[in-house]
Structure 1
């Protein structure tokens, strides 16, 4: 669970941010502050991983808090939520390593995208010691996947896909084979292969061929945490 601090002087906007945050799994509100000084005082007592930060506030501007975090090397990420849309402030915030920048007013969908992307990236970096170039590109460039039609290929069913997905959640911490999935679900290897190929085409699974000394090569599947959100279109 990611602890979040909302730094916003407008009570109405702060309440909207709280409500939006409560609708997204994986996050919990730790504190709210209505000024930079109050936020700094709270940070000395509260463990926070993410700050939703306004720029225009009484007293010090929000970018002062961002500068404080970087100067003190605090491992806290920041998403700016502000009416400030001038390039100079945006560039300054980007140079100081913000995760995302939302310009007020915004819809829940944009808020949800920012938080969901952050959560996926956090889970990935927590679980992996190294990543591929493709994964790094997604992390650095925030590349978006094309819109996927929410329709399964012919011959696949949602119920069986759900069983396959549940089995993969049990196996994903290490490479697994088609037979592993077939045994957990209780279906034929041929059927398991069809569903695994579908997930491979989505990018959720990566396949590597392991050549043994005897017999056929074994296809090992590795779970791609960066793409796991794509399954929601089909379950």
Structure 2
């Protein structure tokens, strides 16, 4: 089993990440620390394989805590989970050996992808004495470089231009207000599952701003047109 410590000062986010871990095979929750001092105390007493580490916390922030771990040569892997999307922070964390970086809000599928990839690499590098170049390249997720200018702007599989245009009309009609997946599904008469795929795609290309709103019951994603990136959809229509 892979022992995971959550270091997160927001109790609701910590519990959400805990519920995600409990859905994953081969992972067990070692504990939850509300700040780095608690994390240091936990690590002094318990063997941990993986940290799910927030950046902005009271006291020592996540990046400085990651530096401390590396200075102490502790054999721990780290996935940064944070609302911080500053490219400088991302670069810092990757240079310090973070194995992945998840920007809040994220869905379970992205969380699952990060931990599944980590698990695959963890067991690859711990269960065998030697690896060949192909195995190393797979662990490092290396792929053949694409030729400059070869990038095309095609919609992901399963999405169509007509449906995207329909959803975009509703998005523009709701500007500058935010909206939920259910509201979009009702307005377009398209299934909630299909609508969610389009909204996720539009968030990925930064056409929409996605916010996870916590309230009574399950957290709800709210979307809003990112006015500075309104041209990002043009290449797909």
TM bin (shorter chain): 0.5 to 0.7
Match of 2:70 in 1: 70
Match of 1:135 in 2: 135
Point out 4+ residue stretches in structure 1 off by more than 2 angstroms: none
Aligned-partner SS, 2:78 = strand
Closer, same or farther: CA 13–136 of 1 in aligned 2, 3 Å: same
How do 1:64-143 and structure 2 match up within 5 A? 64-141=64-141
Contact 1:4–1:27 (CA<8 Å) still a contact in 2? yes
Aligned-partner SS, 2:45 = coil
Match of 1:33 in 2: 33
Q: Distance in 1 between the 2:134 and 2:107 partners?
A: 29
**Number of aligned residues:** 145
The alpha-carbon deviation at position 5 of structure 1 amounts to 0.2
CA offset digits 1:45-90 (Å, max 9, x no partner): 1110100000011122111211111011000000000011111000
Aligned-partner SS, 1:37 = helix
The alpha-carbon deviation at position 141 of structure 1 amounts to 2.7
The alpha-carbon deviation at position 136 of structure 1 amounts to 1.1
TM-score (norm: length of structure 1)? 0.59
Q: Distance in 2 between the 1:111 and 1:43 partners?
A: 23
1:43 aligns with 2:40: no
The alpha-carbon deviation at position 132 of structure 1 amounts to 2.1
CA offset digits 1:143-189 (Å, max 9, x no partner): 5xxx9xxxxxxxxxxxxxxxxxxxxxxxxxxxxxxxxxxxxxxxxxx
Q: Distance in 2 between the 1:56 and 1:36 partners?
A: 11
Match of 2:56 in 1: 56
Gapped regions of structure 2 (runs ≥ 5) = 144-155, 157-237
Contact 1:36–1:64 (CA<8 Å) still a contact in 2? no
Give RMSD over aligned pairs. 1.7
Q: Distance in 2 between the 1:58 and 1:69 partners?
A: 18
TM-score (norm: length of structure 2)? 0.59
Q: Distance in 1 between the 2:11 and 2:142 partners?
A: 31
The alpha-carbon deviation at position 21 of structure 1 amounts to 0.4
Q: Distance in 2 between the 1:71 and 1:85 partners?
A: 25
Q: Distance in 1 between the 2:41 and 2:114 partners?
A: 26
Aligned-partner SS, 1:105 = coil
Contact 1:5–1:48 (CA<8 Å) still a contact in 2? yes
